[in-house]
Copies of this chain bind each other. A is one copy, B any other.
Amino acid sequence: VGEAGRVPGSAGAAGWMPAEAGIRPQIRDLEMQNIASLAHLARTIPDVITLWYGEGDQVTPEFIRDAAKAALDRGETFYVPDMRGWAPLIEALSGYQTRLYGREIGTDRSIVAPSGMQALYLGLSLVAETGTNVVYLEPQWPNIRAAIHLLGAEPRPVPLALERGAWRLDLDAVAAACDARTRAIVFSTPSNPLGWTASRDELAALLALGREKGVWIVSDELYNRLYFAGETAPSILEIAEPEDRALAVHGFSKAWAMTGWRVGWLVHPPSVGPALAAMTQYMNSGTAAFVQAGALAALEQGEPVVAAMRERCRAGVETAYRLLGPVNRIALPQAPPGGMYVFFAVEGEADATALCRRILEEARVGLAPGWLFGEAGRAHLRMCVCRDPGALEEACRRVAGLLAG
């Protein structure tokens, strides 16, 4: 900050300070590292295939865009009066979830949010605060740790263990991490970045643990339709009673190619619906009606899109395993049963940042370093495989060529 930013007469005899000195300490500690520096470098390299973001490469299907455009044409540009969401979408979510999970999920169970991220933040804000802690499984999407931290709570990672090539949940370790100040246990299933997917028995065990300890279960299910052995990965919604302390985070981003729409939803016990509606009013005052109209079209007509996206991810995992598997130095775990990522280590490479940089510069492929997802996968690399098959195959050949050489 130069002279222009100087504040005459600002507080403190010690002289001038930038405004940044006046923010919450918790926020000064916020993780701000990400792949921005790699992305910056990538712009200087021709013909890079970037697989670091958790996003496919397909534009949202036309019928979904048309539904939003039609809502704009109809003049749906006013507040949505119900803070839970646009009534037709709330209805459709109930029907969709009831069909998918084989048990009644009423219209009093879902609230729409401007992004799955905001749905997660809303859910965490309901239960976590300064003086509490939140347990979560690791490696994990970094936003979960950061959101807990931002809310003033202590993030408590519990590592999944990599045993004989498979990531495994250690329930005893989860139980041991909980204490009297623990408010929630959070995980993503299928996991970002692992693809690890909680079995129905594991979800039941986590729910039982939550009941025993009076702790909330927050199941991030953004990837649940991208599960290769069925219509959906096992969901906490299949087993939790309505009034269990259980929240499920959902969104349209992944399975319907709607990352840029910023719309998701939180499934919750009926009794906390009024609190969540009030919180929504005071956090964002709702999601655009025409965005919700697009989401409605996705739910009503989007099953072929979901099926195609699932197949794209399944084939992407297969391609990556076929091409990376033969490289001796690449340590692939068991192939993930869902999600849109392959997460792997490279023998002799402990510094994922240096390795990502080398792969970017020499193989012209963008991967995300594992430390973004916590200590448990520090030296790993994450590759998004939800891509055009030709581009993905080329990227995998480049990486394999570099690491085999």
Contact = CB atoms under 8 A, between A and B. Distances in A.
A207 to B, nearest CB: 10
Contact of A257 (B22, B77, B277): B77
Contact of A288 (B5, B59, B257, B260): B260
Given A150-B125, A216-B22, A262-B114, A10 B279 contact: no
A194 to B, nearest CB: 20
A281 to B, nearest CB: 7
Interface in A298-338: none
Interface stretch (A167-175, A224-232, A240-248): A240-248
Chain B CB within 10 Å, residue with most, of A68, A260, A281 = A260
Chain B CB within 10 Å, residue with most, of A72, A118, A268 = A72
Interface in A13-56: 16, 18-20, 22-24, 26-28, 30-32, 34, 39, 53, 55
Contacts of A257: 77
Interface in A130-158: 130-131, 143, 146-147, 150, 152
Given A60-B77, A121-B282, A282-B117, A271 B20 contact: yes
A18 B152 contact: no
A32 B245 CA distance: 21
B79 A72 contact: no
A400 interface: no
A49 to B, nearest CB: 16
Nearest to A213: B11
Contact of A278 (B76, B146, B245): B146
A65 B77 contact: yes
B19 A269 contact: yes
Given A260-B80, A262-B288, A7 B244 contact: yes
A269 B118 CA distance: 25
A405 interface: no
Contact of A261 (B11, B283, B288): B288
Contact of A1 (B23, B212, B270, B283): B270
B26 A270 contact: no
A8 interface: yes
A16 B244 CA distance: 10
A9 interface: yes
Nearest to A60: B77
Nearest to A208: B9
B284 A117 contact: yes
A110 to B, nearest CB: 15
Given A18-B271, A32-B275, A121-B284, 18 more contacts: A1-B270, A5-B242, A12-B214, A19-B244, A22-B127, A27-B275, A31-B278, A34-B281, A39-B81, A59-B77, A65-B72, A65-B73, A76-B260, A115-B285, A117-B281, A118-B283, A130-B152, A262-B288
Name the 9 nearest CB pairs between A and B, nearest first: A19-B269, A5-B243, A59-B75, A20-B271, A11-B214, A18-B271, A60-B77, A130-B130, A114-B114
